[in-house]
Homo-oligomer: A and B are copies of this chain.
Amino acid sequence: MSDHGKWTVVDGGVSAARGFSSAGVEARIRYRDRPDLGIIRCSERAAVAGVFTKNRFASPTIQHDREQIERSGGYARAVVVNAGNANAATGASGLEDARAMTDATAAGLGIPAEEALVSSTGVIGEPLPMDPVRAGIDDAVATLNDGGNDDFSRCIMTTDTARKEHAVELTVNGEPVRIGGCCKGSGMIAPNMATMLAFVTTDAAIGPTLLQQMLRRAAARTFNRISVDGDESTNDTVLLMASGLSQPVETHTEAARQFEEALEEVCRELAKKIARDGEGATRLIEVHVTGAKDEADAERAAAAVAESSLVKTAVYGEDANWGRIACALGYSGSEFAQENVAIGIGDVRLVEGGVRVEYSEEDATAQLKIDPVRISVDLGAGAGEATFWSCDLTEGYIEENASYRS
């Protein structure tokens, strides 16, 4: 445990909160010698919230999850996930396969059919191989355990180079409440793979409506503020389940404020892990914009800088080329006057009043060797503020994504 002031970081990822068990098994959907199918189970009927991709080629799993949540009135007891096949651009048969996955999971666990959700990640446009999927579900049901987070967080990986988990414990009304989760994502689409998936659990007692509001706000400032290559996938999903086994959290209370802050922290740490593990990346880039007209304008400016191929390659090359940062700000759509702009990298201020100030090129370059690389911008146009994360762009990205699917 390490102390972060308002909460402590704890182990256990998606199983850290009371009531949750998980499993990850080798179903051989596409991969060999590694888990590629998993289940998260809640012992209770958990309130559930979801944020999904807006991609018009959204996987049928997205439509199915939305329908399940509506049918159950905002509750779920399990999520089944597979890697290797995104079940996207698969039409009516893809929707049938998504249903078959949740039906098999619900049957195996003895829960109502509408209380199981599903996520898929992998190649787009190919039918799911349902025989190994069904066998994998049986296997996962049989191996669910309280410490299963290792296997589960591993089973959702595609080109990820590391498992991604984070969990915290905070105190609500004098009692411990836990929030934990795991995620995957490495390109917004890995080679032929589609998806950023995140699963967050808590033992707080929160109703579906408040839970959804909190998740939407947290996702907007975390998962929606990262980019590897700017491609929004067909399967992006964030699910949050609340078992209700610890303290109640009601709307407009101090407990809600504290809980939401901790939830945002868990989502932010998970999101940053995705950006840092971007395909071929060597460093996390953190762009912090202040002085924007409003928060949306700050996000626009920070995103343009973080997503610029020229900024990303300059970071990789350890070149403090602030002209590329200025250029990206200029086309971001954010409102400002160039003569009010300040730009810094790490501790070195490079630009004030829209023009270069005296600085040592050596000092600036040194800031680019530090991970994360911190780019700061003040637009001098208001009080809006936002942070956006991405990674450097390297030959490794090209190599991973130019390779054949086979």
Contacts and interface: CB of A to CB of B under 8 A. Distances in A.
Interface of A: 54-58, 86, 88-91, 123-126, 187, 189, 192, 194, 229-234, 308-310, 313-314, 316-319, 321-324, 326-331, 334, 336-339, 351, 353-356, 393-395, 397-399, 401-405
Contacts of A338: 56-57, 89
A356 B89 contact: yes
Contacts of A230: 308-309
B56 A310 contact: no
B192 A327 contact: no
Most chain-B CB neighbours within 10 Å: which of A310, A334, A336?
A: A310
A300 to B, nearest CB: 12
Given A89-B356, A331-B231, A310 B189 contact: yes
Given A57-B338, A89-B354, A124-B326, A331 B232 contact: yes
A45 to B, nearest CB: 33
Given A91-B339, A231-B328, A394-B402, 10 more contacts: A89-B323, A89-B354, A89-B355, A90-B355, A91-B354, A123-B323, A125-B322, A125-B355, A187-B310, A231-B308
Contact of A327 (B57, B328, B329): B57
A69 to B, nearest CB: 21
Contacts of A399: 395
A56 B86 CA distance: 40
Contacts of A353: 91
A398 B393 contact: yes
Nearest to A324: B189
A59 to B, nearest CB: 10
Contacts of A313: 397-398, 401-402
A317 B402 contact: yes
A89 B58 CA distance: 42
10 contacts: A55-B327, A55-B330, A56-B330, A56-B331, A89-B356, A91-B339, A126-B356, A189-B323, A319-B403, A395-B398
Given A194-B323, A326-B89, A401 B57 contact: no
Contacts of A309: 229-231, 309, 397, 401
Contacts of A331: 54-56, 231-232
Nearest to A236: B331
Contacts of A334: 56
Contacts of A229: 308-310
A30 to B, nearest CB: 14
A321 B326 CA distance: 35
Contacts of A321: 192, 405
Contacts of A89: 323, 326, 338, 351, 354-356
Contacts of A125: 322-323, 326, 351, 355-356
A355 to B, nearest CB: 4
A393 to B, nearest CB: 6
A321 B406 CA distance: 11
A397 B394 CA distance: 9
A327 B393 contact: no
A339 B393 CA distance: 34
B192 A323 contact: yes
Contacts of A123: 323
A398 B282 CA distance: 13
A56 B233 contact: no
A78 to B, nearest CB: 28
A55 B325 CA distance: 12
User: Would you list the 6 A-B pairs with minimal beta carbon distance, nearest first?
Assistant: A124-B323, A317-B402, A57-B330, A55-B330, A313-B401, A232-B331
